[in-house]
Structure 1
Amino acid sequence: MARPALSMNSDRPVNLPLPSLFLNMPVTAVTSILHRLSGVALFLGVIYVFYLAELALESAAGFDEAARIVATPLGKLGLWIVLAALAFHFLAGIRHLLLDFHVGDSLRGGQVGGWITFVLTLAAVIVAGAWLW
């Protein structure tokens, strides 16, 4: 007996590449995801900052070593990444606190708040980069 031909289900999920999925998300979702990722970056960045602080407070030679590390391009980049994560996490946290008080919790308000968070973060990151370099 012959088997019937299996028909393909046209409602099957489609695998989307991660970059295109990220670009098609609403700004509120991107803000939320990046807020979590910036928290992880801060958690890891604290290790670098505490290492530099411990080294600098250890002795005069340790301070010179910490200053030498921070003077390198890689050291400055590390501090810049930590400052960028701190700026975004701080601003997105303030946005989240405002949402808890029902300030900007409409669809349009959430979108505007997300864009304001990104613009202010960009400004803070540019200022931090100018200060470091």
Structure 2
Amino acid sequence: MKKQRPVNLDLTTISFPASASASILHRVTGVAMFFALVFVIWAWAVSLSSPEGFETVKSVMQSFIAKFIAWGTITVLTYHILGGLRHLVMDMGHWEELESGNTSAKVTIALWIVLAVVAGVWLWF
């Protein structure tokens, strides 16, 4: 029996609303934070072990890759907090309509981009 239904395998043609993108991004940043904890816990453990350990972490943090990982960690944490606050407001009964939900998602993503740039400037300069 052949089913006559449309099949769309080209994912680039699918357009998500801003609220869907914000929700998916919130989940992705949650997973990314889990993996970023490996770097954060290592840095805390080594830096608090001794003065030499602190100097080791300090010297490692001077490299481009370490700064990029730190910036990524800060950026992921920032979006996850902003997205979480957005979801909390929605849980209280606000921004649940389609228009206000999309607007709050766009504002959240725009604020995240601004804060990511600020974090990058702060970290590299």
Unaligned residue ranges in structure 1 (runs of 5+): 1-7
Q: For residue 54 of structure 2, what is the aligned residue in structure 1?
A: 63
Unaligned residue ranges in structure 2 (runs of 5+): none
Query: What do the CA deviations read for 1:30-85 (whole angstroms, capped 9, x no partner)?
Result: 11111000000111111101100111111111111101111100000000000010
Report the 3-state secondary structure (helix = DSSP H, G, I; strand = E; otherwise coil) of the residue aligned with 1:71. Answer: coil
Q: For residue 38 of structure 2, what is the aligned residue in structure 1?
A: 47
Report the 3-state secondary structure (helix = DSSP H, G, I; strand = E; otherwise coil) of the residue aligned with 1:14. Answer: coil
| Partners of 1:126 and 1:86 in 2: CA distance | 14
Q: Identity rate of aligned residues, in percent?
A: 29
RMSD: 1.4
> Do residues 13 (structure 1) and 7 (structure 2) align?
yes
The answer to which structure, 1 or 2, has the higher relative contact order (CA under 8 A, 6+ apart) is 2
Report the 3-state secondary structure (helix = DSSP H, G, I; strand = E; otherwise coil) of the residue aligned with 1:11. Answer: coil
Scaled by the length of structure 1, the TM-score of the pair is 0.87
The CA deviation at 1:11 is: 3.3
Scaled by the length of structure 2, the TM-score of the pair is 0.92
The CA deviation at 1:20 is: 4.0
| Partners of 1:125 and 1:47 in 2: CA distance | 21
Count of residues paired in the alignment: 123
Q: For residue 23 of structure 2, what is the aligned residue in structure 1?
A: 32
1:1-133 to structure 2, matched below 5 A, reads 11-17=5-11, 19-21=12-14, 24-133=15-124
Show structure 1 runs of 4+ deviating over 3 A. Answer: 8-12
The CA deviation at 1:10 is: 6.1
